[in-house]
Structure 1
Amino acid sequence: MTHAARAFWLRSPGLGEIRDSEATGPADGDVLVRTLYSGVSRGTESLVFRGGVPESQHTAMRAPFQEGDFPGPVKYGYLSVGVVEEGPARLLGRTVFCLYPHQSRYVVPASAVTPVPENVPASRAVLAGTVETAVNALWDAAPLIGDRIAVVGAGMIGCSVAALLARYPAVRVQLVDSDLSRAAVAEALGIDFALPGDALDGCDLVVHASASEAGLARSLELVASEGTVLELSWYGDRRVSLPLGEAFHSGRLVLRASQVGTVSPARASRRTYADRLALALELLADPAFDALISGECAFEELPSTMAAIAAGELPGLCHRVRYGDAP
């Protein structure tokens, strides 16, 4: 059986469109999902929209259910929440999260969806992929009780990391960003905020998520001797220059990358991708995460909205996309 659907495609860099599509099935072991909300992963999807994925990373950057290839035409995205309309009895009628592009209905293997806990609203569950990235980053960073920590870059990822760090006992957490409007988000998350020039130094750990050369350079200035800067940003095809000739060597600093595509080696032997995502959804029971939703549009408006986001004309954090009569 074929089900009518609509999907967002990047026709070519800078030009998005809504296309008619089809969701065929489901076969045994599959589920048919009717989408309620999807989320725009602002940094990565802006890079894709602008055509900034380096050719060397075309394979590594593929989303789980991507169609087409970079730079386009391509159907890309990975933050989708919907209701299972057909499938195994244990999932029928359940609200689920899936790493699927922006599309109104789709069929995937039942193993590709994760049930959303009943105490997490569907409208907040679009943040699951972002919080999952934060979980993986903290598995990599392994912060300790009483640590002094800065999170540089108050975007979706940085705010999620800071929100989780605020739960650690006796930890000093400061969210650092050049955009003073992010102070309100930090307050909603219960975290101290500082402009880059006012940030507290002597940090045991600095998590960098601003995707800027200036932010990474400031991170190296804030970390104490033998401390670690954990780099979460992805720069695409941009080159970055760093002041490695100053205190970097004498301070024995560590600059380490963290990426959600692999479960952190600190947990890989005991946690699966499914375990990590389920944990992220459990953490989203905290209503403080609603502060990370900064805008919403109807699915039909996504082509123009995505263009505005990629051009920097629509700033904010997570932009939520609403489908049909979603609550």
Structure 2
Amino acid sequence: MTISQPHEAQAYWVTDKGRGELRRESIQTPGPGEALVRTLYSGISRGTERVVHEGRVPVRVAERMHAPHQEGDFPGPVKYGYLSVGVVEEGPEEWLGQNVFSLHPHQDLYVVPVKELTRIPETVPARRAVLTGIVEVAINAIWEGGPRLGDRVAVVGAGLVGGAVATLLRNFPLGRLELVDPDPKKAKLAEAIKVDFAQPKDANNDCDVVFHCSGTDDGLKLSLQLAGDDSDVVEVSWFADKDVTLPLGEDFHARRLTIRSSQVSVVAKARRHRRTNAQRLALAVEQLKDPVFDIFLTGECRFHDLPAAMIDLFGRRGSGFCQVVAYPKPEE
């Protein structure tokens, strides 16, 4: 293990509703089984991080929604984030120089146990690897839904998570796969990942599995309409503090449908006894060897501009997916 003096780091903190700042902190030399990671890129997950940025995490589930390396409590001040890619600069010899993914907040330098790092294959660019945590969410949802040979599947909501779910499912031997979204511009995404696209009025029904990823009442209502008798709707969205209104007297009750939650903090029940969170992350980063995932990287800002970039990102509507945060090199 290499030895060095303590370092100074900077991290992004949500300080108030709609506001954040970079704060300095001291980083100690890594101990046994730990690594010092210098961040190359991090990613902003628009859905979840918007909820945190706006102080909308429900009190009832605040503890459950803690990110692995979060500091502070909701609504804030809180250091939050979970899409970080960096290079190991100090630690066990076999880890030195390795590009790694970590479920760590936006921070330029940090120390974590090596068991909480995921090695990034040389064939996966570091910038693309920020999507590891998003692909992990998609894998968990697919394990939850368990689509079978010849199944008719719909993914409702062509955002970052819905797009990732559809991208993975396009390689399955399905009878039908359709990406559904009210925004006709999302047809470009469907074309890029080579899956069928439909707006709600044109979507096919009688599905064996529907993955709902839109985060809207209308999207969940549509998912119930598209699901076939006795089938499952896998709810991947996080509504946070939003109330949801559904017509449960219609399709849900009459056709004996099931709405099943998929939440990434634990492995889906169908695989929970045979897969660990670390194995799920390792599988996720392997999927990123496919360059098609670059389509989900839509925008970049510099780390030092992150407080302003967060306000700008969440203050406007748009069809972007994952905003990348680029960190300065040591010589900068």
TM-score band, normalised by shorter chain = over 0.9
Other-structure match for 2:90: 86
Q: Distance in 2 between matches of 1:290 and 1:172?
A: 25
Q: 1:136 aligns with which of 123, 140, 150?
A: 140
1:259 is paired with a residue whose SS is coil
Q: Does 1:179 align with 2:188?
A: no
Q: 2:58 aligns with which of 33, 54, 57?
A: 54
Other-structure match for 2:314: 310
Q: 1:165 aligns with which of 169, 173, 186?
A: 169
Q: How big is each residue's C-alpha offset from its partner over 1:25-61, in whole Å with a ceiling of 9 and x where there is no partner?
A: 1111110000000001110000000000011111011
Q: Distance in 2 between matches of 1:159 and 1:114?
A: 23
Q: Distance in 2 between matches of 1:314 and 1:208?
A: 20
Please, which moves more after superposition, 164-173 or 39-48? 164-173
Structure 1 moving runs of 4+ over 3 Å: 312-315
Following TM superposition, by how much is the alpha carbon of 1:314 offset from its aligned partner in structure 2, in angstroms? 5.0
Following TM superposition, by how much is the alpha carbon of 1:190 offset from its aligned partner in structure 2, in angstroms? 1.1
TM-score normalised by the chain length of structure 2: 0.96
Question: Cα RMSD (Å) of the superposition?
Answer: 1.2
Other-structure match for 1:113: 117
Q: Distance in 2 between matches of 1:28 and 1:315?
A: 44
Where does structure 1 lack aligned partners over 5 or more consecutive residues? Answer: none
Following TM superposition, by how much is the alpha carbon of 1:219 offset from its aligned partner in structure 2, in angstroms? 0.7
Other-structure match for 1:204: 208
2:41 counterpart letter in structure 1: Y
Q: 1:146 aligns with which of 150, 162, 187?
A: 150
Q: Does 1:17 align with 2:27?
A: no
Other-structure match for 2:107: 103
1:181 is paired with a residue whose SS is helix
Q: Distance in 2 between matches of 1:82 and 1:3?
A: 16
Q: How big is each residue's C-alpha offset from its partner over 1:103-159, in whole Å with a ceiling of 9 and x where there is no partner?
A: 000011111111001111101000000000111111111001111111001111101
Percent identical residues: 52
TM-score normalised by the chain length of structure 1: 0.97
Please, which moves more after superposition, 46-55 or 172-181? 172-181
Q: 2:327 aligns with which of 292, 300, 323?
A: 323
2:303 counterpart letter in structure 1: F
Other-structure match for 2:223: 219
Following TM superposition, by how much is the alpha carbon of 1:295 offset from its aligned partner in structure 2, in angstroms? 1.1
2:215 counterpart letter in structure 1: A
Q: Does 1:239 align with 2:259?
A: no
Aligned residues, how many?
326
Q: Distance in 2 between matches of 1:86 and 1:159?
A: 36
Other-structure match for 2:12: 8
1:90 is paired with a residue whose SS is helix
Q: 2:152–2:174: 8 Å Cα contact kept in structure 1?
A: no
